[in-house]
Amino acid sequence: MSRSRIDLPPESDPAATHTSEAREERRNYYLGYVLALVLTLPVFAITGFHLLPTKEIYWVAGAAALVQMVVHFRYFLNIRFKGQTREDLHLILFTTLILGLMVGGTIWILFNLAGRM
């Protein structure tokens, strides 16, 4: 299915594609949901029942959260590395950069200060 959805006039949009596209899109949401659960339930399990040492829980939960964010971007917000408009990708990458700078910088500066008091 390599047609441009923007240039195509609506009447030439065959009903068959329509339903298969609908099914695929719905499948995306179900799949995203299942993946989100797979990435969430174990984290609560290891935290609630203390199945791992604290430090390891941090690592596992942090990694699961990062992966889950990617899952949400991919399956719920329909964002991929290819097939985006240029401005969408610009914006996401720039936001990630700024968040990294601001959050990382804040933590660095304030812990550095606290460590010297």
What is the DSSP annotation of 22-68? HHHHHHHHHHHHHHHHHHHHHHHHHHHTT-S-HHHHHHHHHHHHHHH
CB of 82 to another protein, least distance (A): 8
Q: Please state, in angstroms and rounded to a whole number, the distance separating the CA atoms of residues 95 and 2.
A: 30
- Considering only residues 24 to 83 of the shown chain, the ones binding another protein according to CB under 8 A are 25-26, 28-30, 32-33, 36-37, 40, 43-44, 47-48, 50, 54, 57-58, 61-62, 64-65, 68-69, 72-73, 76-80, 83
CB of 39 to another protein, least distance (A): 9
CB of 72 to another protein, least distance (A): 5
CB of 46 to another protein, least distance (A): 8
- Considering only residues 78 to 107 of the shown chain, the ones binding another protein according to CB under 8 A are 78-80, 83-85, 87-88, 91-92, 94-95, 97-99, 101-103, 105-107
Going by C-alpha positions, the residue among 74, 67, 111 that lies closest to residue 92 is 74
Q: Are 67 and 40 in contact (CB under 8 A)?
A: no
